[in-house]
Amino acid sequence: MVSLSLLGSTGSIGCQALEVLDSFGARPVVISAHSNTRRLEEQARKFRPELVCVADEGAGRTLKTALADTAVTVRYGEESIIEAAEYSGADTVLNALSGVAGLRPTLAALEACKVLLLANKESLVCGGELVMSAAKKGIIPIDSEHSAIMQCLQGGRDGIHSVILTASGGAFRGYTTEQLRSVTPEMALAHPTWNMGAKITVDSATLLNKGLEVIEAMHLFGLPPEKIRVVLHPESIIHSLVEYNDGAVIAQLAPPDMRLPIQYALTYPERKPCPGKRLDLAALGSLTFAEPDRKTFRCLAIAEEVAKKGGNMGAALCGAGELAVEDFLAGRCGFLDIAERIEMALDNTPYIENPTVDDILETVKETRNIIT
């Protein structure tokens, strides 16, 4: 098992990663989070990492006092997350941070020559070219779709015609625009197949998440946007497919359980028994597919256009998307307003062809200002 620094240990992916480690009798050497001191303390007492890092300074001071009876070192402040990413005692970093905040730790881990297991798609959406150019040891994706593509590509990378990302369709698959006008945050958070954090669950409902995954796949696998397709697959059994020039299609199938792609990344290239449910095709009976409705769920089409433009537009998309979802969850805007706000931000953001990290972070800040 790898020597692991786990960034974002209190979120959905982070907690499941700790479950996987625990099933092998392993532990992380570093854990970090933004401010959830209650869960961080529980994790620190159970796994006894060498270092715990907390982005929020006030929360970090609280945690340091709480763990004073242990040998665990506590650091706090935003720069402590960079310290966690660069920690010399870890050879591998799993970045499960949420949002644009994951970009700098991703780059720090790669520049420190760590093996990067990436669950923070915003790193690639915002700074794909910077990230991939720094990835000397490669990146192992955690997202189920991109893990599936990586697994399919073990059969060969030559002659790829396209990759196909599957989407459950979220909570409102088949809804009309008129029906979406009355959607509430509670409705949007009721995902039919996956148990995820609030932001990604709403993004799944708008199909923005699938658009972000298109951009992520472009960078991870070196593909142009026209070679990446999206298909609705409500059962969430096929996680992605690779189509080759001769017409052969290879798919990765499994029950919807994030512990599998997490374990695949942690143990790669080995495959070990996973505690999750096994796939029973006969019990499933059938699998269904459909084209996504880009006119009703406009966020997917918007993100696909951003994929073609490149530059700092991915950063603008992430910044605007984060704030728009925050506003929706807080009741400050409607469900359909999410796409409207993102589009307004993109239309008013100056284009930068080859952005630096500072350009990316400034773009995120400015796009949030545009729609505030």
Tens-place pLDDT, residues 217-265: 999 999 999 999 999 999 999 999 999 999 999 999 999 999 999 999 9
User: pTM here?
Assistant: 0.94
**CA 125 – CA 309 distance, rounded (Å):** 12
Give the per-residue pLDDT at 196. Answer: 78
SS3 category, 164: strand
Structure tokens at 10: 């209190």
SS3 category, 74: strand
Structure tokens at 245: 């020039």
The answer on pLDDT for 287 being more than 80 is yes
The answer on pLDDT for 1 being more than 80 is no
The answer on pLDDT for 192 being more than 80 is no
Give the per-residue pLDDT at 161. Answer: 97
Tens-place pLDDT, residues 266-284: 999 999 998 778 999 999 9
The mean-pLDDT minimum among 69-83, 193-207, 307-321 falls in: 193-207
Q: Which residue has the higher pLDDT, 194 or 216?
A: 216
Contact by Cβ (8 Å): 216, 124: yes
Contact by Cβ (8 Å): 227, 162: yes
Structure tokens at 300: 């997917």
The answer on pLDDT for 171 being more than 90 is no
Percent of the chain at pLDDT > 90 equals: 92
Tens-place pLDDT, residues 314-354: 999 999 999 999 999 999 999 999 999 999 999 999 999 99
Give the per-residue pLDDT at 275. Answer: 78
Strand bridging mode 30-33 / 51-54? parallel
Q: How far apart are the first and last CA of the chain?
A: 45
Give the per-residue pLDDT at 4. Answer: 98
Structure tokens at 271: 């495959």
The mean predicted confidence, pLDDT, of the chain is: 95
Give the per-residue pLDDT at 136. Answer: 86
The answer on pLDDT for 155 being more than 80 is yes
The answer on pLDDT for 193 being more than 90 is no
Q: Report, as an integer, the average pLDDT of 96-112.
A: 96
The closest alpha carbon to 36, from 56, 6, 16, belongs to 56
**CA 318 – CA 43 distance, rounded (Å):** 30
**CA 235 – CA 169 distance, rounded (Å):** 10
**CA 143 – CA 204 distance, rounded (Å):** 13
The closest alpha carbon to 201, from 102, 295, 329, 319, belongs to 329
Domain ranges for the chain: 4-142, 146-309
Alpha carbon of 254 to those of 151, 236, 271: distances in Å? 12, 8, 14
Tens-place pLDDT, residues 59-80: 999 999 999 999 999 999 999 9
- CA 200, 205, 211, 217 torsion-angle sign: positive
Amino acid at 2: V
Give the per-residue pLDDT at 16. Answer: 96
Which of these CATH numbers, 3.40.50.980, 3.40.50.720, 3.40.50.740, 3.40.50.1820, describes 4-142?
3.40.50.720
Give the per-residue pLDDT at 345. Answer: 96
Contact by Cβ (8 Å): 89, 3: yes
Q: Report, as an integer, the average pLDDT of 147-173.
A: 94
Contact by Cβ (8 Å): 123, 114: no
The answer on pLDDT for 165 being more than 90 is yes
